[in-house]
Structure 1
Amino acid sequence: MPAPVPTPAHPHPDAEGLPIGIIGLGAMGHGMASSLRRAGYRVHVCDVRLEAAQAFAAGGGVACATPSELAAHCEVIVSVVVNAAQTEAVLFGEHGAAAAMRPGSVFVMCSTVDPNWSIALEARLAALGVLYLDAPISGGAAKAASGQMTMMTAGHPEAYAKVGDALDAMAAKVYRLGDQAGNGSKVKIINQLLAGVHIAAAAEAMALGLREGVDAAALYEVITHSAGNSWMFENRMAHVLAADYTPLSAVDIFVKDLGLVLDTARATKFPLPLSATAHQMFMQASTAGFGREDDSAVIKIFPGITLPQAEPKP
């Protein structure tokens, strides 16, 4: 069945006058840039792979070679990179955006990071006269491409006013969680706590079924129609059944994200026993060589099971 074509967005009246930059054209960033373009915004894009930016711009938009070049043209910059280290490089590295951003412009940070780092970043940018939105995202590549993802945002009202309706062009749900940075990142890592624990539990359940000789497809059918189901079981165990570990979200993402969860809790001596166990499972999978595979590959740590194999190609 062909993938649904996103409904064209109704152009916002201010869209043509507001140049927006997207830095990072991975699965999520590319979809977000496409949503903004459909809504009528003038989209500038930048990626470490210049060819990716050029390919996007061929359909409408402007490719920029560096974050500083993009910042010179845009009043709003949306950063969709992997982590805090990459965000740091985007802003303050060689050819970084921060030095080229004009006072009153807005930096929207969409990575999953330590909430305290995000709070500190708001203060660093404020010293440069730059507004900041703490705005992690969730939903996956398909929802990003169709403008249906979720954004967990926090920041000063002036930042929201400057961004206007651009957030709504990128996401179906834009949650405003506070008037200063921090709560967006805190809610995101709590979401990642649940996501990681659910994937680990789903893998454990499927592994037990395989060990006990239950047909994997039958087990999947029963669980997905029973009270024990979860969104992660239904989504990720389908990858296991298909023997397809193409990394839509990799094992190492949860090594990082559950590490952030545990670091945050450790600072206030708050116990998270399930998160700690799930983190160790993803660590074990990464150490075993599966770090760049889909996070469902955490099932590969269980001994004495035979995983489903891909159907041979005709």
Structure 2
Amino acid sequence: MFWLNEVLEMTGPFRTAVIGLGSMGYGIAQSCLRAGLITHGFDVVPSKIEKFRAEGGAAGSLAEIASTLDAAVIVVLNAGQTEDVLFGDNGIVSSMRAGSVVLACATVPPDFARDMEARCNASGVHYLDAPISGGAAKSSQGQLSVMASGSPAAFTAARPVLAAAAETVFELGDTAGAGSAMKAVNQLLAGVHIATMAEALTFGMTQGVSPETFVEVISQCAGTSWMLENRAPHIVAGDYTPLSQVNIWPKDLGIVLDIAKSASFSAPITAAALQQYLAAAGMGLGREDDAAVAKVYARNAGLTLPGET
């Protein structure tokens, strides 16, 4: 952060826009604001924009401020939304000045990231393939991990945002695509780990192991994972307030399987986990926290999870 302060002293105010104020995007916007960057926040939900402006976010419509931006951080759901923000009817790239940078944070196929880089570069705008990991808590604390790839110029242009929002930046290559490939690997593991946690927790219940005891014991044993330790307490509390929705996983694991298919690679465990998330969405749980995949197992086994009657 000291380095960031020195940069801002030398270059003057740095203006960024965070587009997509979900649980991760809102934290990124807060982190940029806290670091002293002039930060605009935009979302399809007006109340999120109003809330961020009340906290100090800069005013102005996206159309009005696009040409003034040093960086645009795109934290939307998927490739389609990313492309729409950048090149749709009201796309911002055509208005952004040469030398500014797009940081694209959604989970997308590597080929899509490479296409976005080429199209941005054609307009003189840098593109950093910058998928993120860490969850809402680390996002709000400026402690995300960023799996990034792009040209040296893109990294340089993005440094103030990266310094504000990330604890660790993995520089994975000098062209887009490598960051998204690594994010697909991460999402394969994360999605499988959540589903496996739900399976193990509910299996334990059939053997008289309570969810509370499961968390207490397994979190201290070799079978633990970050996802287990983060998500299993949601089940114990019976609290499925969405920090990461079930609906994210059909998309992300679908991307993983699409990439695997193109590489002629069999990923049967990923496919099995995907089916559990699809079942959860089919039960109407799509907007609940992804720990709610445990409800699929509980329903099939006739179990009652904490908080259920």
Shorter-chain-normalised TM-score: which range?
A: over 0.9
Amino acid at match of 1:305: G
- C-alpha distance in 2 between matches for 1:97 and 1:307: 49
Counterpart of 2:174?
179
Matched, 1:32 2:25: no
| SS of alignment partner, residue 283 of structure 1 | helix
1:276 aligns with 2:259: no
Aligned residue pairs total 303
| Alignment match, 1:102 | 97
- Which structure shows the bigger proportion of residues in helix conformation? 2
Determine whether 1:81 maps to 2:76.
yes
SS in 2 for 1:165: helix
Most deviating of 146-155 and 220-229: 220-229
Indicate the residue corresponding to 1:23 in structure 2.
Answer: 19
Matches within 5 A, 1:1-314: 10=2, 12-15=5-8, 16-66=12-62, 68-302=63-297, 303-310=300-307
**Residue of structure 2 equivalent to 1:4:** none
Deviation track 1:10-59 (CA, whole Å, cap 9, x = no partner) reads 45233342211111111111111111112111112222223322322233
SS in 1 for 2:68: coil
- How many angstroms apart in 1 are the aligned matches of 2:108 and 2:44? 20
The CA RMSD measured in Å over matched residues stands at 1.7
In 2, Cα distance between the equivalents of 1:215 and 1:52?
38
Counterpart CA distance in 2 for 1:69 and 1:50 is 17
What is the CA-CA distance between 1:311 and the residue it aligns to?
9.0
Write out per-residue CA displacement over residues 119-155 of structure 1, whole angstroms, 9 at most, x where no aligned residue. 1111111111111000000101111111111111000
User: Which segments of 5 or more consecutive residues in structure 1 lack a partner in the other structure?
Assistant: 1-8
Separation (CA, whole Å) in 2 of partners of 1:244 and 1:59: 27
1:195 aligned partner, one-letter code:
A
Secondary structure of 1:82 counterpart: coil
In 2, Cα distance between the equivalents of 1:246 and 1:51? 19
- Residue identity (%): 47
